Amino acid sequence: MDLIVNIKIDHDSRKPKYKQIVDSIIDDISRGNLNVGQKIPSINEISEEFYLSRDTVEKAYNLLKERKIIESVKGKGFYVAKTDLINKVNILFLINKLSSYKMTIYNAFLNAIGTNAHLDLHIYHCDETLFLKLMERYKGHYDYYVIMSHFKNEQLQYVGYTDKVLNAIEEIPDNKLVLLDNKIDFLKEDIVQVYQDFEDDIIKALKEGLEKLKKYKKLILVYPDKSVYPYPREILHGFRKFCVTHSFDFEVLDDIYESMELRAGDTYITIKETDLVDLVKQVRESSLILGKEIGIVSYNDTPLKELLGITVIGTDFKKMGETTAQLILENRKDQIKNDFRFIDRKSM
User: Measured between alpha carbons, how far is 178 from 85 in angstroms, rounded to an integer?
Assistant: 22
User: Measured between alpha carbons, how far is 11 from 265 in angstroms, rounded to an integer?
Assistant: 59
**In tens digits, what is the pLDDT along the chain, a chain of 348 residues?**
456 678 889 988 888 999 899 888 888 887 778 888 899 999 999 999 999 999 999 999 998 888 778 999 988 999 998 655 545 688 999 999 999 999 999 999 999 998 778 889 999 999 999 999 999 988 888 889 999 999 999 999 999 999 999 999 999 999 999 999 999 987 777 899 999 999 999 999 999 999 999 999 999 999 998 889 999 999 999 999 999 999 999 999 999 999 899 999 999 999 999 999 999 999 999 999 999 999 999 999 999 999 999 999 999 999 999 999 999 988 889 999 999 999 999 999
User: Measured between alpha carbons, how far is 299 from 303 in angstroms, rounded to an integer?
Assistant: 13
Which residues lie below 8 Å from residue 257, measured CB to CB, with a gap of 6+? Answer: none
Q: Are strands 144-148 and 39-40 parallel, antiparallel or unpaired?
A: unpaired
Q: Nearest 5°: CA angle at 94, between 92 and 111?
A: 65
User: Measured between alpha carbons, how far is 192 from 331 in angstroms, rounded to an integer?
Assistant: 9
pTM exceeding the 0.75 threshold for the entire prediction = no
